[in-house]
Chain A
Amino acid sequence: MADMASLLEKPRLDRDTLAMRAALEMPDGAVVNLGIGIPTLVSQYVPEGRQLLYHSESGVLGYGPMADPGQEDMDLINAGGQFLKWVPGMAFFHSADAFAMMRGGHVDISVLGALQVSEKGDLANWMLPERGIGNIGGAMDLAAGAKRIIVTMEHVDKKGHPKVVRECSYPLTVRGRVSLVVTDIAVLAMTPQGLLLKEVAPGWTADEVQALTEPRLLVAPDLHEITL
């Protein structure tokens, strides 16, 4: 069994590398919604030759890069409040249509951050219990609506506690819909038998990942290091 304290000191993937790995999951032509934080970085690392159509619940489809400093237009934002560039092919729509696209199964992939993911594919990402009534935004709509849910997150929280857990202790966003978890030390796939460890960060072993994970992991026969 690995020593916990030294494991927490061990180098992990940085946020950009984690986003690069998640970007490999995006097929050409997919309609994709990216959440705030690491998910937003994914758009910068989509492999060459693949074109994605980005959806924002602020009512924009087909957006491109963020606006250049000084060129911000207050009438054109994504759901994270970042200013977007006007690019050819964009379309605007009202909020009910923005969420009908999501709930109606017209968005292929939603990439979300998480506070916790359970071994059953439950996701908690909208609120810390101490936040009172809270801010929910579009979290539940995205998690319940997109065809495929990919979570990107650090493997443990700031105190070193596992974020991949048996049961989420934070308020749930959705039950049983997460299909892939990309963390800074591992790639985990949700399978009917349980969480399958498919890839580890360079220098990490399956045992070490297990030591920082609450539920028992299944290990893929072809387990390998994350390559980009």
Chain B
Amino acid sequence: MRNKVYSSFDEAVADIPDGAVIMVPGFGPGMPKNLLAALHRQGAKALTIIANAPGTTADQGAIPLLVADGRVRKLISSFTASAHPSRPSAFSELYEAGKIDAELVPQGTLAERIRAGGAGIPAFYTPVAVGTELAQGKEHRVFNGRTYLLEHALTADYALLRAWKADTFGNLVYVGSARNYNPIMAMAARFCIAEVEEPIVEPGGLDPNQVHTSGIFVRRLVRIPPPPEGIWDEPYNMPT
């Protein structure tokens, strides 16, 4: 079997090309901040980023830095604006100037589009957003007297993940609410790279009953070093 364990984040993201579509989990916790920082150092551009909460400041991970550097072509997200209109983000300025494309998606619709993408379902009907401005231009259909709209699945070239525990096969375990988008993005992307908080164990070191993401979805693993070399989450406030 090919070795999946890499010793550095830079090495693990080195071959991500320009134009890649990249999924990034995180809703507060669960964001792969070390891999994002490596991606920022690596230089890939014209990226499409799919992330529930990409953040607007550098302490929320490196997506705002990639955006500010003009390296993101499109952002697909449920939080795009800054938390306070008085503090405009790099994203909102580029968006106003027509220099970045964006798609705003209700959070649950975003999750289901990703889940569907990983499960081989090309599209599905949902009641969410019917009758709102986000429904404009979408196919509508009535089932059992209620109106639904058609949403298309999302897939990606890469997903960057953040796990609590892993074994060398790539089986992953998440902790608390850091799970969020990690398991579904792991399935919807063709190539997944995970940063791991605990030491990566040999097969047998994880309870197979407790594995959240099967190793078949994971191609590379990097252990997060202790701070300050590794980036660890601090308590902070979510966008509102």
The SS class assigned to the A binding surface is loop
Establish whether residues B81 and A132, one from each chain, have CB atoms under 8 Å apart when the complex forms.
Answer: yes
Establish whether residues B184 and A95, one from each chain, have CB atoms under 8 Å apart when the complex forms.
Answer: yes
Which residues in chain B, 21-70, are within 8 Å of chain A measured between CB atoms?
A: 27-30, 52
B150 at the interface (CB under 8 A from A): no
Establish whether residues A92 and B108, one from each chain, have CB atoms under 8 Å apart when the complex forms.
Answer: no
What sequence of 0s and 1s flags, for each residue 139-176 of chain A, a beta carbon within 8 Å of any chain B beta carbon?
Answer: 11100110000000000000000000000000111111
What sequence of 0s and 1s flags, for each residue 79-116 of chain A, a beta carbon within 8 Å of any chain B beta carbon?
Answer: 11101000000001111101110110000000000000
The tally of residues in A whose CB lies under 8 Å from a CB in B reads 49
Q: Nearest residue in A to B180 (C-beta to C-beta)?
A: A95
CB distance from A80 to the nearest CB of B (A): 7
The tally of residues in B whose CB lies under 8 Å from a CB in A reads 56
What sequence of 0s and 1s flags, for each residue 206-240 of chain B, a beta carbon within 8 Å of any chain A beta carbon?
Answer: 00000010000000000000000000011111111
Q: Nearest residue in B to A81 (C-beta to C-beta)?
A: B238
Establish whether residues A136 and B104, one from each chain, have CB atoms under 8 Å apart when the complex forms.
Answer: yes
Task: Report which of B108, B179, B235, B240 forms a contact with A135, defined as CB distance below 8 A.
Answer: B240
B176 at the interface (CB under 8 A from A): yes
State the CA gap A174–B127 with chains docked (Å). Answer: 10
Establish whether residues B129 and A144, one from each chain, have CB atoms under 8 Å apart when the complex forms.
Answer: yes
Task: Find the residue from A74, A130, A131, A172 having the highest chain B CB count within 10 A.
Answer: A74
Task: Report which of A57, A79, A140 forms a contact with B132, defined as CB distance below 8 A.
Answer: A140
Which residues of chain B are within 8 angstroms of A66 by Cβ–Cβ distance?
Answer: none
State the CA gap A79–B78 with chains docked (Å). Answer: 13
Establish whether residues A75 and B233, one from each chain, have CB atoms under 8 Å apart when the complex forms.
Answer: yes
Establish whether residues B85 and A83, one from each chain, have CB atoms under 8 Å apart when the complex forms.
Answer: no
Known contacts A134-B80, A135-B81; is-contact A144 B128 (Cβ 8 Å): yes
- Can you identify 30 A-B contacts, CB atoms within 8 angstroms? A56-B177, A60-B176, A74-B29, A74-B233, A75-B176, A76-B177, A77-B177, A92-B176, A92-B179, A93-B179, A94-B179, A96-B114, A96-B115, A103-B108, A103-B112, A103-B127, A122-B131, A130-B85, A133-B81, A133-B92, A133-B95, A134-B81, A135-B78, A135-B80, A136-B79, A140-B129, A140-B132, A141-B109, A145-B108, A145-B128
Q: Which residues does B use to contact A, with CB under 8 Å?
A: 27-30, 52, 78-81, 83, 85, 92, 95-96, 102, 104-112, 114-115, 126-134, 164, 174-184, 212, 233-240
